[in-house]
Structure formats: structure tokens, C-alpha cells
Amino acid sequence: MAQDSQQHTGSIRIVAFSTVLSRLTGLLRDMLVYAVFGTSAINSAFIIAFTIPNLFRRFMGEGALTSALVPVLAHENAKHGQQKAYELFNRVLSRAAIALVVLIVLGITLFQAVRFFKLEDRWILAARLGIWVFPYLFFICLSALIGAVLNLQKRFASTALAQIWVNMTMTLLLGGVGIWVSRDEYTRMLWLCGGVLLGGVLQLLLPGYALTREKWRPKFDLRKDERLTEVWRLLGPGLLGATVAQVNTVISQFLAFGLNDSATSVLFLANRLMQLPLGVFAIAVTTVTFPIIARKAAEGDREGFAASYREGSTLIQAVMIPAGFGLAMLASPVLIAIFKWGAFDNDSVRATAPILITYALSIPFYAACTFTTRALHSLKDMVSPVRWGVVTLLVNVALSIIFKEIWQTVGLALANVLSTAIFAFGLNWELKKKAPIVGKTRSPLLRILCSGALMGVVVLPLVIFLPHGKLGSFLAILIGGSAGVLVYTLGLWIMTKPTLMGLKRLVWK
């Protein structure tokens, strides 16, 4: 168990470090995009167009297909060896490739058809851009499936680094070419779309090469296989439950697109900043822990399953709770220091800050949804996430329609947060029913919350009284962030020392 724990924390560090690089390149990309386009209609249109293939990436890369495939491959690998598992993977990959080609053709046809409807200009613009970026769906979805198999082989870095390539190509084609060859916004945006497609190709080829080094040989294989039945059985009910948080975000973005030209851009940026700590740590822990708990579940090791789940859950919340508090308190300084360039002005900062605060406070709920959904999937329970997913989706739609009339864009963010909290509590309740052993150990969650509150008492006055502007915002982030980490660490040391030791092992050992 001790050796498994050391390997576990070591793998999390690898994924977290790789993901930090990915998120930093994504941050640079977003800084450039918002400096060039601001919160304009064309930026909002691009976000809508880019959201659709990314939603399917969530389905496959962080959602139902991967969750259905990994337990079956883990079982096949354990019982019949690696080559048999690879044969099954090739058959899934071949069918996925065909489905994606059909989906892309249908999608482009629908985007073309939008032009014939009497819609506001921003909807037509989104459809035009969608034609360019929708083929990205093919590359990113297949890459996500390859990444899942790499994770099962304990090759985590290649998958975590994959997103870097699209961030870099988008940045280089817009910043290195687009803004220099044209002053026209639409032409510049086409260069950005070109960066998406080039990045998608790299995202597929590089992880694919990494998997060939693990003795995988790609083969187009449409032969029948009874093992596919279990994959499809697990996939069917899981499509909604695995990605409901992302579906809720997409609904919010489309509703925002109907409000005005800038609402989608503002909502997207706040969500991206909220996703930064989630991607750096929560997804890292989930990525590493999921194959472990899937293996423990397949072996019938209930104690091992519970121990791995409790360790991962505690580590996630020990980072996500202070991250949420900190980002909420530093919302305006972060926007001013990092994004206030070019077309992103003071009005953009004022419009985005309350959305960011709202999303920041929801970070622990988003992290819990991702991790607990994977835990249920490892037990081959695809129904519970669906049941709660449907409830959550309906609540989000109802609250969004009501709240957007009262609080506009902030109302959409608030509806998304409240529905995600319901989803997190529902999933946790279902897991404790399926694996009662998980709930037998006392959770340090309350003590983690108290440590986060103590951090807030110290940081908030610093943020309020430090001067505003670029320099003041950088100082607020530097001083407030450093003070927050020290106070939070002290709080954990006083209230829950084992949690602090777990974080220490993660960072230093």
C-alpha cells in the first residue's frame, strides 16, 4: 500500500506539472486573443464555434466513452494481456473514427444551413467560424481516447502535455502571423482557426507516437467483438452523467450569446480562469487515481478502492477550497494584471469580475463532480450520474432562464454554480450507497473549510487596501497570494495535520 501511495503521488506530480505548462500556454493564448478581440461579437462567435468540438472532447476525453473504455481495458489487460487489450482498443478507435467523420459532415452541413435563417449577425458569424473549427473534433476526440490508454499504461505526461500544442499553434498563427498580415478582424480570426486545426493534428500524432512506444500498433479494425458490448452498455447511459458540468456551462454560453455581443466572451473568460486550478490539480488527481480505483474495483479490493478514493478526494479539496477563496478575493487584481491589455479595457474588467467571483466559489463543487463521477464509473455504475445529471441539467436550465432576466450574465453563472453543487452532493450520496466503506472514515472537510476561512480573513484586507492599477494588482496577487498560502498552511497544521502531510508528500517527496 505504501509503495502504491508513493507511485500515486509521484504520478500526480507529473500530471500536475505537465498540466501547469498546458494551462500557462492556454493563459498566454487567452491573453493574446482578448487583447486582439476584447469581448467583441467576433470573439463571442469564435467561443461558441469552438465550444461545440470541445464539448465532444469532454464526452470522450473526460467523459463517458473514456470512463466506459478504461475499466473494460483494465479487465482485459489483467485477464488476457496487453495485446488483447490493444486489439479491443483498435476496434473501438476504428468505430469512433467513422462516427466522427459522419458527425463532422453533418455538423458542417448544419452550419451551412444556418446562413439561410433570419438570425442576428453574431449567430451567422458563429456558424461561419464553426465550419472552420469543427473538423478539430476528429483529432481531439481520437487523441483523448489514445490518452486514456496511455494513462492506463501509467504514461501520464504525454496526455497532459497534449493541450500545449493547440495553445501554441493558436498563439503563433494569430500573434506571429495574423495580426501582422491583416488589420481585418475576420481575417485575423481565420488565422486563429487555422491554429486550432494545426494544433489538433499535433495533439493526435504525438500521443499516438507515445502509445506506439508502448507496443501499440494502430490498425483499422471493424471486426465484431463481444467485448464491445460491455463498452457500449457502459457508454449508453453515461453520456449525460459524465459531462453534465460541461453541458451546463455550454447552455450558459449559448444563453449568454443571446443576451448581447460580449456576454459569452465574459462568461468564457471567467470560466477559463476558474478551470485553471481545476486543470492543474483536480484533473491531475482524477487522471491518476481513476485507473487505480478502476483496477481496485475490478479486483474486488474494497479497502484499496476506499483508501485511494479518500486520499484523492481529500487532496483535491485541500487545494480546491483555498484556490476558490483566493481566486474570488483576487478576481479584479488577476483580471487587471493579466488581461487588461489592448481591447480588454476597464469596462471588460468590471463586467468580468463578478462572474469570476461567482465561478471561483464553485471550484470545489466542480472538482468533486469530476472525481466522484469517475469513482462511480469505476464501479461500473453509469446510471447514478445520469439520474443526477438529468436533475442538474433541468435545474440549471430553469434557474438560468429565471436568473438571466434578473441579473443578466451573473445570473447565468449563479445558476450554473447552484446546479453543480446539487450534482456534487447527489453523486456523493450515491457513492456512499454503492460503497459504504467510503463514508466510514471521518472527513477533514470542515477543518479544511475553517483553514480557508482563516486565509480569507487575512487576505481580503490586503486586497482592499493595496492600490489599484497594474502595479497594485501585481502586488495584491504577490503579497495576498503569499500571505494566503502561509496562513492556510498554518491553519492545516493546527486543525488537520494529516492533510497537510499529504500535501507535503505530494510536493516534496
pLDDT tens for 9-24 read 556 666 667 777 888 8
CA distance 110 to 176: 32
Cell (9 digits) for 174: 494569430
Encoded amino acid at 455, one letter: M
Encoded amino acid at 171, one letter: T
CA neighbor of 190 nearest in space, from 133, 134, 138, 269:
133
Question: Who has greater pLDDT, 1 or 25?
Answer: 25
pLDDT (mean) for 355-363? 93
Indicate if the pLDDT at residue 143 is higher than 50: yes
At residue 467 the predicted structure's pLDDT band, cuts being 50, 70 and 90, is confident
Spatial CB neighbours of 301, under 8 Å, sequence gap ≥ 6? none
Indicate if the pLDDT at residue 470 is higher than 60: yes
Relative orientation angle of helices 263-277 and 383-434, to the nearest 10 degrees = 30
pLDDT (mean) for 402-414? 94
Residues 441/314, Cβ–Cβ less than 8 Å = no
Query: Is residue 316 packed enough to be buried (19+ CB in 10 Å), middle (13-18) or exposed (0-12)?
Result: buried
* Triad 31, 34, 37: Cα angle to 5°: 145
Pairs from 108-115 (Cβ < 8 Å, separation ≥ 24): 108/134, 108/135
The torsion region of residue 119 among left (phi > 0), alpha (psi -120 to 50) and beta comes to beta
Every domain of the chain and the residues it spans: 40-236, 238-509
Instruction: Give the pLDDT of residue 40.
Output: 93
Indicate if the pLDDT at residue 226 is higher than 80: no
pLDDT (mean) for 197-206? 94
Q: State what percent of residues in the chain have pLDDT above 90.
A: 46
Indicate if the pLDDT at residue 250 is higher than 90: no
Residues 145/63, Cβ–Cβ less than 8 Å = no
pLDDT (mean) for 309-325? 88
Instruction: Give the pLDDT of residue 290.
Output: 73
Return the minimum-mean-pLDDT range out of 74-83, 202-211, 471-480: 74-83
Instruction: Give the pLDDT of residue 225.
Output: 78
pLDDT (mean) for 192-202? 96
Residue 189 CB neighbour total at 10 angstroms: 25
Instruction: Give the pLDDT of residue 397.
Output: 93
Return the minimum-mean-pLDDT range out of 52-61, 128-137, 403-412: 52-61
Indicate if the pLDDT at residue 57 is higher than 90: no
Which of the 8 DSSP states describes residue 362? T
